[in-house]
């Protein structure tokens, strides 16, 4: 029997705020343990939380970027459980009235556009981190109360590779929106992976296995591949699967049972009486909407269609937003946007990296690139000389026209001058000349190269070819 995998992801993303969700402690990575803490995030009796507006704003912005409905009435609930890393003995989250729900993400996958629906994206707080030593354990509460966004997908994902592509697309969008730095190494993105399999064609979902707390995307991909195989094998053997939570052993490359449905917690959720519902007004919603920018996929499609760029070039301008923003106005003013892309990607980008320069600090005017392209197209300079002119422009800010005149770099199209260089090249290389006359067409390239050398790269190469050929066929 043929099976298909069904996968849904719950992704936790740390929001990029200066302070924590309910107090003024810094939202900062790497500080010494328990230095970014206060009575509020330590859950001491008698304290009251105050919601961080920036976190609410980033949540609404994410909702808009993920095509979600942004709630005009959102609420916070307490999820109760007893564990050392939750100092209050409950975690504040959003259950019945999340900030945003019902959206989707589109991304490129296997030469096509895939779409994964988003069930909801709700705000919650992070908890502390436990450490286990030889004789004792410790908890660092620096992370307790840090704002997290939990983004829950519908079970629309059908393979490990698709999950991987979805996660990358999500991280791209969130980084674009400056919602989160999404630094995996700092644990800013973690996800719970839900996997089931079912016979192809069946609409009913199979028993769901949840793999908790994955913190690398490659781990997610491996865990799904393992789990799909394991589940299909189990069913093929005639055994059945029941809902359970499993843990991924990255070194062993396997998943193992953590808890079954029977030990599922009852979190006794209820609305947090210390926090008012959040009911943003029109003005607030409009101010968030103003910050919605073009998404990576839309930008890529636009660069391809507006400037006839190959996908690879468009990709460069999607990944390096500043470079793409620099390219656009120049391309708009040009008849050959592809040539502009070549200069920007092949030459400018390399120079910027080489000299460790920011694109804002360029010495030359952006129009210089179009001027350079026009000079090359007119035949006034060769593309080789153009490189030299570009370097000069990059270093001194001088316009290409000025450099060509000053350094006398204009291509020699004067037939008389080229004529004598050709005669000289033929005289000095009788063997190549003979070869060409005997039918070895490739010998012409060598002679052409000699003429270019004699002219210090300034001879018009097309003219050189024509003249040489004429002379040799006489
Ligand atoms: P729970 O209440 O256990 O958290 P949810 O129904 O809220 O479960 O779903 C949690 C995540 O699991 C979502 O991302 C959802 O898409 C996914 N999911 C639900 N059922 C299945 C299934 N049978 N197979 C794979 N993923 C599933
Ligand atoms: Mg869940
Ligand atoms: Zn605090």
Distance in angstroms between the alpha carbons of the first and the last residue of the chain: 77
Per the structure block, which two tokens stand in for 360? 């804002």
Q: Average the pLDDT over 245-268 and give the result.
A: 85
* CATH-assigned architecture of domain 415-473: Orthogonal Bundle (1.10)
**Within 10 A of 334 (CB to CB), how many other CB atoms are there?**
18
Angle at Cα 93 formed by Cα 208 and Cα 163, nearest 5°? Answer: 40
pLDDT at 263 over 70: no
CA distances from 181 to 14, 28, 187, 213 (A): 8, 12, 10, 19
DSSP result, 198-254: EETT--S----EEEEEE--HHHHHHHHHHHHHHHHHHHHTT-----EEEEEETTTTE
What CA dihedral angle connects 276, 279, 280 and 282, to 10 degrees?
A: -150
Crossing angle for the helix pair 296-307 and 160-176, to the nearest 10 degrees: 80
DSSP 3-state assignment of 400?
Answer: helix
Mean pLDDT of the chain: 91
Outline which parts of the chain fall under CATH 1.10.10.410: 415-473
* Cβ contact 409:429 at 8 Å: no
Give the pLDDT confidence of 172-228 residue by residue, as tens digits.
Answer: 999 989 999 999 888 899 999 999 999 999 999 999 999 998 999 999 999 999 999
* Ligand 2 centre distance from Cα of residue 178 (Å): 26
- Ligand 1: residue whose CA is nearest its atom 6: 154
pLDDT digits (tens, 9 = 90+) for 92-122: 999 999 999 999 999 999 989 999 999 999 9
- Pocket test of ligand 1: the residue of 4, 95, 194, 210 to mutate, having most ligand atoms within 8 Å of its CB, is 194
Q: Which ligand is nearest to the CA of 261?
A: 1
Which among 197, 179, 26, 3 is positioned nearest to 99, based on CA atoms? 179
Q: Mapping DSSP to helix (H, G, I), strand (E, B) and coil, where does residue 135 land? A: coil
Q: How many helices (H) and strands (E) does the chain have?
A: 16, 14
More confident residue, 350 or 378: 350
Residue 349, exposed/middle/buried by CB under 10 A (0-12, 13-18, 19+)? middle
Q: Which residues contact 411 (CB under 8 A, 6 or more apart)?
A: 379, 380, 381, 382, 385, 458, 459, 460
pLDDT for 125-176, tens place per residue?
A: 999 999 999 999 999 999 999 999 999 999 999 999 999 999 999 999 999 8
pLDDT band at 398 (very low <50, low <70, confident <90, very high): confident
Element housing 9 (H / E)? strand 3-14
d(CA 464, CA 117): 62
Ligand 1 atom index nearest CA of 10: 14
- CA nearest neighbour of 273 among 99, 397, 415, 92: 92
C-alpha 20 – ligand 3 centre gap (Å):
7
Say how far apart CA 335 and CA 333 lie, in whole Å: 7
Given ligand 1 and candidates 96, 155, 157, which is best to mutate, with the most ligand atoms within 8 Å of its CB? 155
**Matching residue, tokens 């997290």:** 148
Q: How far is the CA of 193 from the centre of ligand 2 (A)?
A: 9
> How far does the centroid of ligand 1 lie from the alpha carbon of residue 342, in Å?
46
64-78: pLDDT as tens digits: 999 999 999 999 999
Q: What is the mean pLDDT of residues 27-40?
A: 95
How far is ligand 1, taken at its centre, from the CA of residue 113, in Å? 23
Across 425-444, average pLDDT: 88
141 DSSP β-pair partners? none
Contact 93 CB / ligand 1 (< 6 Å): no
pTM of model > 0.85: no
Q: Is 6 in the pocket of ligand 1 (CB under 6 A)?
A: yes
157 pocket-lining for ligand 1 (C-beta < 6 Å): no
pLDDT at 417: 78
Phi then psi dihedrals of residue 467, to 5 deg? -65, -45
Cα 26 to middle of ligand 3, angstroms: 8
Cα–Cα–Cα angle for 431, 432, 434, rounded to 5 degrees: 65
Q: What is the spatial distance between Cα 334 and Cα 442, in angstroms, rounded to a whole number?
A: 36
Q: In ligand 1, which atom is closest to the CA atom of 155?
A: 16
Ligand 1 and 8: CB distance under 6 A? yes
pLDDT at residue 22 in the model: 97
């Amino acid at each position: 029997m043929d099976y298909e995998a069904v996968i849904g992801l719950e992704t936790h993303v740390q929001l990029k705020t200066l302070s924590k969700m309910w107090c003024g402690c810094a939202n900062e990575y790497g500080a010494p343990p328990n230095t970014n803490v206060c009575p509020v995030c330590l859950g001491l009796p008698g304290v009251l939380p105050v919601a961080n507006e920036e976190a609410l704003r980033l949540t609404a912005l994410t909702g808009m970027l993920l095509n979600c409905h942004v709630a005009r009435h959102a609420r916070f609930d307490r999820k109760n459980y007893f564990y050392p890393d939750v100092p209050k003995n409950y975690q504040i989250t959003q259950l019945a009235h999340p900030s945003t729900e019902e959206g989707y993400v589109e991304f490129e996958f296997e030469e096509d556009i895939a779409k994964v629906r988003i069930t909801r994206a709700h705000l919650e707080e992070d908890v502390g981190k436990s450490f286990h030593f030889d004789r004792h354990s410790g908890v660092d509460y620096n992370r307790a109360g840090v704002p997290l966004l939990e983004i829950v997908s519908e079970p629309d994902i059908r393979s490990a590779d698709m999950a991987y592509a979805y996660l990358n697309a999500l991280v791209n969008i969130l980084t674009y929106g400056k919602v989160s730095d999404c630094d995996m190494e700092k644990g800013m993105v973690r996800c719970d992976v839900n996997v089931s399999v079912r016979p192809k064609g069946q609409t009913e979902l199979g028993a769901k296995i949840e793999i908790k707390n994955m913190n690398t995307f490659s781990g997610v991909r491996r865990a799904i591949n393992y789990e799909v195989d394991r589940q299909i094998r189990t069913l093929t053997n005639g055994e059945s699967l029941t809902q359970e939570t499993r843990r991924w052993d990255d070194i062993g490359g396997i998943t193992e049972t953590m808890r079954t449905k029977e030990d599922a917690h009852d979190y006794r959720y209820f609305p947090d009486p210390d926090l008012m519902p959040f009911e943003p007004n029109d003005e607030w919603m409009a101010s968030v909407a103003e910050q919605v920018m073009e998404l990576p996929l839309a930008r890529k499609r636009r660069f391809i269609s507006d400037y006839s760029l190959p996908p690879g070039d468009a990709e460069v301008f999607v990944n390096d937003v500043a470079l793409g923003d620099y390219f656009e106005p120049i391309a708009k003013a040009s008849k050959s946007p592809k040539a502009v892309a070549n200069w920007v990607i092949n030459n400018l980008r390399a120079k910027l990296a080489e000299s460790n320069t920011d694109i804002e600090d360029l010495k030359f005017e952006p129009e210089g690139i179009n001027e350079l392209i026009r000079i090359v197209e007119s035949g006034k300079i060769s593309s080789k000389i153009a490189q030299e002119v570009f370097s000069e422009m990059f270093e001194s800010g001088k316009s290409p026209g000025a450099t060509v005149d000053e350094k006398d770099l204009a291509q020699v199209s004067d037939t008389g001058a080229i004529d004598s260089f050709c005669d000289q090249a033929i005289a000095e290389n009788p063997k190549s000349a003979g070869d060409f006359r005997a039918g070895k067409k490739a010998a012409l390239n060598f002679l052409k190269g000699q003429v270019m050398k004699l002219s210090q790269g300034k001879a018009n190469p097309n003219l050189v070819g024509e003249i040489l050929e004429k002379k040799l066929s006489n």
